[in-house]
Structure 1
Amino acid sequence: MDLNARKERFLLAYIAAVAARAGFDLVEPRVDVDSIDGVLLSHAGRRPRIEFQAKATARDLVGDEVVTFPLPVKNYDELRADVIVPRLLILVVLPEREEDWLTHTEDALILRHCGYWHSLAGAPERENTTTVTIHLPREQRFDPAALQALMRRVGQGPIDET
């Protein structure tokens, strides 16, 4: 398996671990269509769901307040589309060295570094032809508490950037 495939599997494992801890399911479609790598599902209340595009990077893109990421225009346009089920970009920042992605002992399983989420709902059309630079606020960590809060918000209406 090449490095990009390993990154993809690792970031989906990260997202699945966060979802499991938050009490939600992760469903992966057989084919990535419309920039959707997975769907996060709740089995409580109104059964909210969130679709997501997952990206991973090992580049040092973490600033003091934001994580900067060059998102392909295709993904940008599909994530900003006016849709019924909210969509998120989930970016998992990995250590540069693959050996540092995961530490496993009898006492702990540690996945490094961190994931961030961002909604592009209502984002403007861009004239770029290859990538759009996205600034993911570092306060928008993709962790169990954030996912639970996002699911609560889904039942109340669209998720905006903040």
Structure 2
Amino acid sequence: MVKQYGDSQLEDYPFYEALNVQLKCTSRSELIKTDHIAYPLKIKNYNDLRQKTMNPRILIVLQVPEETQDWLKCSEQELTLRYSAYWFSLKKEPAVPITGKKDQKVTVHVPLKNKMTVKELQRIMNLLAKGEKP
């Protein structure tokens, strides 16, 4: 969950907003397409992310290098996470029935244009502050 605290002195700015995030990680380069990541997500998780809730939910897929030792670099000066993260809201996606098969999955197409940057997270949180949803 990502939380934003507003200024309690401003009437038109909510004091508190929250965004629920499901973070997934992949090093599978074959999932990266021209304009999206074709991420296989468990149907239960997919349907959970679709639900209408007070705090919106989004899926974030983190693309990382194949070698785990290359995922994260940490020093006194910086923390570097490789490569990129992309987000997607499933609120308008259709429901997918569960047939009873264990670990049944559906492919979610996460647009590469939805790169999760600091600026993008701020934009999403500002939408929430205005009563809008991503």
TM range (shorter): 0.7 to 0.9
Amino acid at match of 1:66: H
Instruction: Confirm or deny: 8 A CA contact 2:44 2:98 kept in the other structure.
Output: no
**For residue 95 of structure 1, what is the aligned residue in structure 2?**
65
Instruction: Confirm or deny: 8 A CA contact 1:103 1:111 kept in the other structure.
Output: yes
Instruction: Confirm or deny: 8 A CA contact 1:81 1:122 kept in the other structure.
Output: no
Q: Which structure has the highest helix share of the two?
A: 1
Cα distance in 2, alignment partners of residues 73 and 106 from structure 1: 41
Using structure 1 for the length normalisation, give the TM-score. 0.69
Alpha-carbon shift at residue 122 of structure 1 (Å)? 2.5
Flag the structure with more relative contact order, 1 or 2, with Cα contacts below 8 A and sequence separation at least 6.
2
Cα distance in 2, alignment partners of residues 105 and 85 from structure 1: 35
Instruction: Confirm or deny: 8 A CA contact 1:80 1:120 kept in the other structure.
Output: yes
Gap runs ≥5 in structure 2: 7-12
Q: Which has the larger radius of gyration?
A: 2
Using structure 2 for the length normalisation, give the TM-score. 0.82
Amino acid at match of 1:86: P
Amino acid at match of 1:40: V
Moved over 6 A (4+): none
Amino acid at match of 1:133: T
* Percent identity of equivalent pairs: 31
**For residue 157 of structure 1, what is the aligned residue in structure 2?**
132
In the comparison of the two structures, how many residue pairs are matched?
121
**For residue 31 of structure 1, what is the aligned residue in structure 2?**
none
Q: Which structure has the highest strand share of the two?
A: 2
**What secondary structure, in the 3-state scheme, does the structure 2 residue paired with 1:48 have?**
strand
Gap runs ≥5 in structure 1: 1-38
